[in-house]
Chains A and B, each alone.
Chain A
Amino acid sequence: MTGLRVADTGDAFVVELGAFNGPLDLLLSLIRDEKIDVYDIPMARICEQFLARMHELALNAAAEYLEMAARLLRIKTLMLLPRHEGDDGWEDPRAELVRRLLEYQQVREIVDVLERMGEDRRNRFARAWFPALVAPPQAPLALSLVELLAAVDRVLRVSREPGLHDVVPRPLDVDGAIAIVRAVLALRASARWRDVVREDAEPWEVLSALLALLEMARRSELKLAQPRPFADVEILRESAGQAA
């Protein structure tokens, strides 16, 4: 599925190919690549090529390409039907296709003009420019390992001495802290932060106490409340959860 980009625009998926904007675009590029006269398209050859490119690009499921393929096959079949000599009523079955192709070719030319003019304007800022175009979703980041390593290298070179720290794991003692909180709440119905954490507590003790309080609140052993913003947190015994 290379070259396929699927954008979810809400009610419908828009499948945009990297290279082609639709079956007419693909057909036109085939005609250009094969240097085919658009007024005399060899249907058998173009059918074959179109189907081959569809498989190549994994477009088998795209309805619009399938429809075009069916149309091409139908024209190819019509071309095979015997014609009567001097039949003035015969209409080239390719006529409609040629008309659409030429019309589409015109559109492509206008697109080139618009692209050039739009690019000119994109390169100038108005004083109060604001994003008029809604930003399309960011393309997924495509990085090779080499690029990633190069980026790391650049970062490392910026800081001459990368301050490397040894991180010593210090296990938190949540169970111990829970025991302390339980002991405090066994004596009184409500407590404060200061009652469960010593004044000169180490960071790991503070964290253990915090996790212990959150864990016990989750288990409904206690309630945490803060009457006003920045007020001391109140730790309240939850009578119902006492047994737990």
Chain B
Amino acid sequence: MNPLAKLLEAALFASPRPIPTSELAALDAEASPAAVAAALDELREHYDVDGHGVELVDQGGGWQILTRPEYTEAIERAQVAMRPHRPSGAALETLAIVAYRQPIGRAEVSEIRGVDVGAILKSLLERGLIEVVARGEGLGRPLLYGTTPLFLEQFALRHLDELPRVDELAVALSQPEEGSLGEPGHPVASGGA
């Protein structure tokens, strides 16, 4: 492997979080963006072709070395590492709404889900999956929430655009400009309600 690929491998090994390409480039001031991209390709190929138990993955807003899924069960059985708990349906619904309508306040999320989401928003905040991104204009200047990089990482997304667009979903609304969830990450004007 070329020295830059080795350097990147070391950095990726040391980091508990995905590292964006821009930060990887900063490891070597001499390296051009093309050289970094080539080194990442080389590293990924190295893991894939030589048959390693780990692979290089680009998700959660950066690069990360992850174990291959086929070893998960054995690793967990031996209690070397434990998988995180599966989020509840209520938590997923709330996350989905925040992801598509951010920045969004508690009242709007509750309205869409038909139940109060105060406690679930709090727990998602504690887990670092959402964060307060702004304050609304309305009465009491409500807190508005958005998703975090950790959300991308835990749902294996590169960026929010990777979520399905609303027009790709099976249910298309008859009046999309009024009631649709909008596109992921792009705030839409709230349609009445």
Contacts and interface: CB of A to CB of B under 8 A. Distances in A.
Contacts of B122: 9-10
A225 B120 CA distance: 52
A127 B18 CA distance: 11
B139 interface: no
B31 interface: no
Contacts of B67: 124-125
A128 interface: yes
Interface stretch (B22-30, B32-40, B41-49, B163-171): B163-171
The prevalent SS among residues of A at the interface is: helix
A22 B128 contact: no
B133 interface: no
B96 to A, nearest CB: 4
A74 to B, nearest CB: 16
A5 to B, nearest CB: 9
Contact of A21 (B69, B100, B113, B119): B113
A106 B93 contact: no
A100 interface: yes
Contacts of A114: 92, 95-96, 99, 155
B163 to A, nearest CB: 7
Contacts of A132: 84, 127-128, 150, 154
B75 interface: yes
Nearest to B70: A123
B96 A133 contact: no
B104 to A, nearest CB: 12
Contacts of A234: none
Interface residues of A, number: 48
Interface string B58-88: 0100001111110010010000011111111
A104 interface: yes
A21 to B, nearest CB: 5
A105 interface: yes
Q: What is the interface residue range for chain B against chain A?
A: 35 or more
User: Most B CB atoms within 10 A — which of A10, A14, A110, A119?
Assistant: A110
B85 A136 contact: yes
Interface string B131-172: 000000000000000000010011111000001101001110
A96 to B, nearest CB: 8
B68 A109 contact: no
A134 interface: yes
B180 interface: yes
A126 B72 CA distance: 11
A220 to B, nearest CB: 49
B80 to A, nearest CB: 8
A11 interface: yes
A11 B119 CA distance: 8
A128 B16 contact: yes
A99 B178 contact: yes
A121 B113 contact: no
Contacts of A127: 13, 16, 65
B107 interface: no
B177 interface: no
Interface string A107-123: 11111011101111111
Interface string B164-189: 10100111011100111100000000
3 pairs of A and B residues whose beta carbons are closest in the complex: A128-B16, A24-B114, A22-B115
Interface of A: 9-12, 14, 16, 21-25, 64, 68, 99-100, 102-111, 113-115, 117-136
Given A123-B69, A136-B88, 15 more contacts: A9-B122, A14-B90, A14-B119, A21-B90, A21-B93, A22-B115, A108-B93, A110-B99, A118-B86, A118-B154, A124-B68, A125-B72, A127-B65, A134-B126, A136-B85
